[in-house]
Amino acid sequence: MTDGDSDDFDPCFLPNGRIVFITERRGGYLRCGRHCPTYALHSMAADGSDFILFSYHETHEWHPSVTNDGMVVYTRWDYVDRDTNIAHHIWTCFPDGRDPRSFHGNYPVRRETRPWMEMSIRAIPGSHKFVATAAAHHGNAFGSLVIIDQRLDDDGMSSQLARITPEVPFPEAERHIRPIKDCMVYGTAWPLSEDDFLCVYNRDAKNHGIYWIDSFGNKELIYRDPSISCLSPIPLRPRSKPPVIPTRTVQTADDKKNAGGIHPQESITVIDVYNSDFEWPEGARVAALRIIQVLPKTTPPPNQPRIGVANQTNARVVLGTVPVEADGSAYFEVPAGKLIYFQALDNRGMAIQSMRSGTYVHPGEQLTCLGCHEPKGRAPKRSAVTSLALRRAPSKIQPDVDGSNPFNYVRLVQPVLDRNCVSCHRSEEAPDLTGFVEGKNGWTRSYNNLAEKYGFYFHVSNGSINTGVHGGSRTIAGAFGARISGLLKFMDKQHYGVKLSEEDFHRLTLWLDCNSEFYGSYENTLDQARGEIVYPTLN
At residue 201, the pLDDT reads 97
pLDDT of residue 178: 76
As a three-state string, the secondary structure of 178-195 is CCHHHCCCEEEEEECCCC
Alpha-carbon distance of 475 to 483, in angstroms, equals: 13
* Residues ≥6 apart with Cβ < 8 Å to 100: 55, 57, 76, 91, 92, 93, 359, 360
One pLDDT digit (tens) per residue for the chain, 539 residues: 999 899 999 999 999 999 999 999 999 999 987 789 999 999 999 999 999 999 999 999 999 999 999 999 999 999 999 988 888 899 999 999 999 999 888 888 888 888 999 999 999 999 999 999 999 887 789 999 999 999 998 888 899 999 999 999 999 888 887 777 788 999 999 999 999 999 999 999 999 999 999 999 999 999 999 999 999 999 999 989 999 999 999 999 999 988 887 778 999 999 999 999 999 999 999 999 999 999 999 999 889 999 999 999 999 999 999 999 999 999 999 999 999 999 999 999 999 999 999 999 999 999 999 999 888 777 777 777 789 999 999 999 999 999 999 999 999 999 999 999 999 998 778 899 999 999 999 999 999 999 999 999 999 888 888 887 899 888 999 999 999 999 999 999 999 999 999 999 999 999 999 999 999 999 999 999 999 999 999 98
Cis before 179? omega within 30: yes
Query: Three-state SS for 340?
Result: strand
Distance CA 242, CA 223 (A): 30
Stated pTM of the model: 0.95
Give the pLDDT confidence score for residue 263 in this predicted structure: 76
Please report the pLDDT score of residue 333 as a whole number.
97
Question: Where are any strands of DSSP class E within 83-116?
Answer: 90-93
Contact 137, 131 (CB under 8 A): no
- CATH 2.120.10.30 region(s) of the chain? 8-223
- List the 40-44 sheet strands across, edge first: 8-13, 19-23, 40-44, 52-53
Q: Judge if the upstream peptide bond of residue 191 is cis by omega within 30 degrees of 0.
A: no
Q: How far apart are CA 298 and CA 538, in angstroms?
A: 7
Nearest to 201 by CA among 148, 162, 143, 146: 143
Q: What three-state secondary structure class fits 301?
A: coil
Which residues are registered as beta bridge partners of 9?
22
Burial of residue 437 (CB within 10 Å: 0-12, 13-18, 19+) is middle
Q: Report pLDDT for 469.
A: 84
CATH of domain 8-223: 2.120.10.30
Q: How far apart are CA 352 and CA 369, in angstroms?
A: 19
Cite the beta strand spans of 57-129 per DSSP E.
61-66, 72-76, 90-93, 117-123
On the CB side of 51, CA atoms within 13 Å amount to: 14
User: Sign of dihedral through CA atoms 466, 467, 471, 477?
Assistant: positive
Nearest to 9 by CA among 68, 58, 74: 74
The per-residue pLDDT for 502 is 97
Give Cβ neighbours of residue 256 (< 8 Å, ≥ 6 apart). 250, 262
Q: What are phi and psi of 477, to 5 degrees?
A: -60, 130
State the Cα–Cα distance between residues 147 and 273, nearest whole angstrom.
32
